[in-house]
Amino acid sequence: MRPPDDERSVVVDLLHDLTMTRRPATLAESARLGQFFAAEVLPDYPTRRVYEKHAKHVEDDLQWPEDTSADEYLDSLRATVLNPRSGVYLVEAEVERTWTIYFVGPVPYRSQGRRAGSRIVVLFNAERHFWITGFQAEAGDIYVDRQAGFWVQCPR
C-alpha cells in the first residue's frame, strides 16, 4: 500500500486503470487528475515554452484578447484544467505509444479573442508528465472527438 502523499504514483495508477479499462472516471478521479496536472505539471510561471505558445495562440492566432499577458494565458489554461465542468479525454499516440490527456473546457468571455474557439483545450503527455500546449479549438468537442481517443469525463 502506498503512502497517501505519493500523489504521482496514485495518478499513474489511475491513468493506467482508465487507459486499460476505458471506463469513465468518477468526478473525484477527474478532479484529482486536474489538480495533479494543474499543480505538478503545468508551469507555475511563464517559461520559454509558455511564451512560444502565447505568441502562437494569443498574438498570431488571436484566440485570446490581444492584451492577454503570458501569465494570464497560463492562468486561463490552469483554470480550464481545474474547472469541474471541463472534460477529460485520453488518446494514445500511435508513434510513441504514450497517452496524451486533454482537458477541454468552456471559453470564458474574458478569454475570447477575435478568433476565439468554442473550447479551451490543454494537452499533456499523461505518462511523462509534461505540458504540450493549450489553445482554443474552433470546433470544440468535435475537434477532440476526431483524435481517436475516448472521453473519461465529458465536458458539462
pLDDT by position in tens, the chain (length 156):
444 458 899 999 999 999 999 999 999 999 999 999 999 999 999 999 999 999 999 999 999 999 999 999 999 999 999 999 999 999 987 777 889 999 999 999 999 999 999 999 999 999 999 999 999 999 888 999 999 899 999 998
pLDDT of 4 reads: 47
The whole-number pLDDT of residue 93 equals: 75
The three cell numbers of residue 107 are: 471559453
Q: What is the pLDDT of residue 3?
A: 41
pLDDT of residue 94: 72
| C-alpha–C-alpha distance, residues 132 and 146, integer Å | 18
How far apart are alpha carbons 50 and 90 in whole angstroms? Answer: 22
Task: Kindly give the interhelix angle for 27-36 and 7-21, rounded to the nearest 10 degrees.
Answer: 130
Cα three-residue angle 53-12-7, rounded to 5 degrees = 90
Q: Whole-structure pTM over 0.85, yes or no?
A: yes
Predicted confidence at residue 2, as pLDDT, reads: 43
pLDDT value for 6: 86
